[in-house]
Amino acid sequence: MTPPAPTLAPARGAPLPGPETGLFSLLDLTVETVGRLVERALELHHDPAAHTRPLSGAALGMLFALPSTRTRTAFTVAAVRLGAATVAYGPGDLHLSAGEAVEDTGRSLGGMLDGLVARPAGALDDLRRLSRHGHLPVVNAMTPEEHPTQGISDLATLRLTLGSLDGLRLLYVGEGNGTATALALALSGVPGCEATFACPPGHGLPDGFLVTAGERAAHVGATFSCRDSARSLPAGVDVVYTSRRRTTGTGESDAAWRERFRPFHVDEEFMTRRPGALLLHDLPARRGDEVSGAVLDGPRSVAWTQAAMKLSGAMAVLEWAVGTQDTRAGEEAKAGL
């Protein structure tokens, strides 16, 4: 007797896209949430064991399609310290590099991972689509538009070194890259902050971006200005911040870029005219281009503290973005946030 043919279950279809979860841009967060993440990063900087391994049993993907030293290491170590296992993906490891749709990759990863930290080769919208279609918390580890976790670490570094940030006067000198946009958004919640962004012509912050940051800043009495000349920059500042041209190490399309950036070089003379200012640099540095080695290694440089703060900043972000709501509430209560 021939056995009956098996009955196949009806196809359920792919899940509908869900809400985006994770950290994509500081613009998505309230000023209060940014402040809580900064304070939590400071607590974890002082005491790396000030948690209950809230990601125990979780599996986090680490997708870095572009070079990274500090951010990749910080998030990998942060995940391990919080109890998670990590799965590393390099530039050609996923089928994204062979043309697979972002949505399909998101659905697949979402069925296996509990979260994803990503520095994609594409734009910020790719990360949002990964999150929506994978129902997966995603952390932006830098896109061309913004480096939000750098902004959180930067504010934590300034809180550690200066104490109160109210009335902070900051001069940013260099390319208007993702670090600069995150910095502007982070500073937009600092009461009374005065920030000047000096960038070579054609290399400033994205069109309209300062308007957005300025609208947020107006609520706390902060102000922003942008210059495309290195002449007559403010001298009475608390912080000078510079960043490498093309921080990801991608190739240069402008052969004359050094000539355009030379007037914005931060050397001993530049810092002498600002005797009370600290130096911040997001690293990697190209010594002799945006900053001199003497300044980067000098007594007013806090770049190495800034680099170390990326670890506690990553821990704070992962705890907030990937931890369960109960875990997040418990950790914030423990921290007094």
Closest CA to 102 of 139, 129, 63, 137: 129
Domain ranges in the chain are 21-146+309-324, 148-307
Choose which CATH entry (3.50.50.60, 3.40.50.1370, 3.40.50.150, 1.10.10.60) describes domain 21-146+309-324.
3.40.50.1370
Place of tokens 């997040």: 328
- Enter the tokens of residue 37: 């993440």
- Enter the tokens of residue 207: 């069109």
**What string of pLDDT tens digits covers the 337 residues of the chain?**
555 555 544 444 556 788 889 999 999 999 999 999 999 999 999 999 999 999 999 999 999 999 999 999 999 999 999 999 999 999 999 999 999 999 999 999 999 999 999 999 989 999 999 999 999 999 999 999 999 999 999 999 999 999 999 999 999 999 999 999 999 999 999 999 999 999 999 899 987 787 888 899 999 999 999 999 999 999 999 999 999 987 554 555 677 888 889 999 999 999 999 999 999 999 999 999 999 999 999 999 999 999 999 999 999 999 999 986 444 444 444 444 4
- Given a contact cutoff of 8 angstroms between Cβ atoms, the answer to whether 243 and 249 are in contact is no
AA letter at 64? F
Check if CATH label 3.40.50.1370 holds for domain 148-307.
yes
- Given a contact cutoff of 8 angstroms between Cβ atoms, the answer to whether 220 and 31 are in contact is yes
Q: Whole-model pTM?
A: 0.90
Dihedral class, residue 220 (left if φ above 0, else alpha if ψ from -120 to 50, else beta): alpha
Instruction: Return d(Cα 277, Cα 235) in angstroms, integer.
Output: 9
